[in-house]
Amino acid sequence: MSYARIAIIGANGMLASMLRATVSETVALHLYDLPEFDITNATQVDTVLGDLQPDVIINCAAFTQVDNCETQQELAFAVNGQGPANLAAVAKKIGAVLVHISTDFVFSGDATTPYNEEAVTNPLSVYGASKRQGEQAIINSGLAEYYIVRTSWLYGPNGANFVETIIRLATEREELGIVADQTGTPTYTVDLSNAIWCLLDHSASLVQGSEFGIYHYSNDGACTWYDFACEIISQLRQANVALKVKKIKPITTDEYPVPAKRPAYSVMSKEKIVTATGLNLPPWQESLTRYLKGRLKN
């Protein structure tokens, strides 16, 4: 990788911690997070990153608590909308590449086949709308060299996520009711991190301004939350983990009311990133196996 200096924003989060663990040894990483660094503060962003002059800025900072975004709309749009605008402005000024992490929640979920990068966005929630605003801010900033990487159903070490929730509940309860009418794709942070490094390796050798833009990345395949939970529990049982759960019951979205609406279908096409980089896409079940093996070993 020919990028020598990389700033990671939101450095204490689940994805950022994996980026830190998987980065090339030749790269100098500079880590920023709250409370010392606030992406909603345009002056601070400009001063700190202007002084650092990184080659790449990776934005992992976001307000990702989907239901809390409904009641904290101002904060959601500040962090997820204005924050990326501030980063894009400084990236343009200093000539840095900006990598921004976005979400499948920018889509309405009305599709029946995987969304590609050009698909119309029509979010159902404040979270999705705020993330779309962040994407649009970058696209409209005049910055040529950016990657917006949309991902979905992210899990990994060092963060709250669906896999950890199911593991906890399966050791506490005999019966679980899991939503079975929302379809998407899980993504392991190791695989997403590798995809990001792969994109940056790729862009380092690009003709200036070509092939930047929006990319989708998740693991391969699709499932419902119910399918995902069943697979987690099945793999734990195969590994002889003691569980209390006896029954997993499929339920509808209506039976599990939450403040924010979720897309019923948010599977994304990864054809663009595979064509651009030659990346191998691991099936979601295989990635889950790697995560659980590593977790149980530790």
Query: Exposure pattern of 208-243 as b/e (b: 16+ CB <10 Å)?
Result: eeeebebbbbbbbbbbbbbbbbbbbbebbeeeeeeb
The H or E element that residue 167 is part of is: helix 162-172
Q: Judge whether residue 39 has pLDDT over 80.
A: yes
- Residues annotated as catalytic (active site), given as ranges: 127
Contact 39, 83 (CB under 8 A): yes
294 versus 206: the higher-pLDDT residue is: 294
List CB contacts of 231: < 8 A, sequence separation 6 or more.
Answer: 223, 285, 288
Percent helix, strand and coil across the chain, each rounded to 5? Answer: 45, 20, 40
Q: What is the mean pLDDT of residues 35-49?
A: 96
> pLDDT (tens digit, 9 = 90+) per residue, 176-201?
999 999 999 999 999 999 999 999 98
The packing angle between helices 284-297 and 162-172, to 10°, is 60
Q: What is the mean pLDDT of residues 131-159?
A: 97
Q: Judge whether residue 1 has pLDDT over 60.
A: no
User: Residue 211: its pLDDT value, please?
Assistant: 85
Average pLDDT for the chain: 95
d(CA 169, CA 232): 12
> pLDDT (tens digit, 9 = 90+) per residue, 213-253?
999 999 999 999 999 999 999 999 999 999 999 999 999 99
Confidence of residue 206 (pLDDT cuts 50, 70, 90): low
Confidence of residue 202 (pLDDT cuts 50, 70, 90): confident
Q: Judge whether residue 208 has pLDDT over 80.
A: no
> pLDDT (tens digit, 9 = 90+) per residue, 103-115?
999 999 999 999 9
User: Residue 21: its pLDDT value, please?
Assistant: 96
pTM of the full structure: 0.95
CATH of domain 5-160+187-220+266-282: 3.40.50.720
Contact 100, 53 (CB under 8 A): no
In this prediction, what percent of the chain has a pLDDT beyond 90? 91
Please state the domain extents for the chain. 5-160+187-220+266-282
